[in-house]
Structure 1
Amino acid sequence: MRRGSRAPAALAADVLCVVVFCAIGRRSHAEGLTVAGVAQTAWPFLAGTALGWVLARAWRRPVALLPTGVAVWVATVVVGMVLRKVSGQGTATSFIVVATLTTAALLLGWRAIARSLL
């Protein structure tokens, strides 16, 4: 498989990781698991993921931990938290810590697994 052809699957994996993170968070806080509810929680983080992809030019090396994975992860958390704050959603310190660690495990974890298999 050519490197460029991995980009759509890698982007889909990143989106899936963010949506799973948001769905788990909503479930653990007894919030509804509706499509609209998950979308409301996920959009700030997905915006960050998109920016991370652009900044890292992730389509060039979509499975790379550095710089792609780290850039996507950091942008996901930072932009996600900023957008949550300006849109009136919660940004408690404990949430920032959990979001940072969980998205690291998800966004970097799938890349580590994929790299070991390639």
Structure 2
Amino acid sequence: MPRTRSRTPAALAADVVCVVVFCAIGRRSHAEGLTVAGVAETAWPFLTGTAVGWLLARAWRRPVALLPTGVVVWVSTVVIGMLLRKLTGQGTATSFIVVASLTTAALLLGWRAIARSFV
């Protein structure tokens, strides 16, 4: 139990960094500004989804686990992020949903897979 608790802040930080990196790369690839405000505007729907995923998965119990934690956090990040984007009039084109799903899967599941190899 103590070891899991010590990983929780780092795991949460890794998820937040992954989502912010995804949003920053997306903004850059579409020639949008890389300002803090711009990245925050793009990231907040996905970060909300990440937070909901953490709660649904009770990620603090097994923060580095691919299943169920990583998958629940990833799916929640994408689904809730896209729903919030749609509700606020931001883009949700099918191609964006596919790219966002694949990229966030690589990031949110990828860091966990790498971390698991060191445990």
Query: 1:66, CA displacement in angstroms?
Result: 0.2
Q: Identity percentage over the alignment? A: 85
Structure 1 gap segments, 5+ residues each: none
- 2:17: which partner in 1? 16
Look up the match of 2:96. 95
What are the superposed Cα offsets for residues 51-75 of structure 1, whole Å, 9 maximum, x if unpaired? 0000000000000000000000000
Structure-2 residue corresponding to 1:109: 110
Residues 18-69 of structure 1 deviation map (CA, whole Å, 9 limit, x = unaligned) = 0000000000000000000000000000000000000000000000000000
* Number of residue equivalences: 118
Distance in 1, Cα, partners of 2:45 & 2:3: 31
Amino acid corresponding to residue 34 of structure 1 in structure 2 = T
- Which ranges in structure 2 are unaligned for 5 or more consecutive residues? none
Amino acid aligned to 1:69: G
In the TM superposition, what is the alpha-carbon distance from 1:101 to its structure 2 partner?
0.1
Q: 5 Å matches for 1:1-118?
A: 2-118=3-119
Structure 2 counterpart of 1:91, one-letter code: T
**Deviation of 1:99 (Å):** 0.1
Q: Report the Cα offset of residue 3 of structure 1.
A: 1.0
Q: Extract structure 1 runs of 4+ deviating beyond 3 A.
A: none
Q: What is the aligned-residue RMSD (CA, Å)?
A: 0.7
Aligned equivalents of 2:5 and 2:68: distance in 1?
16
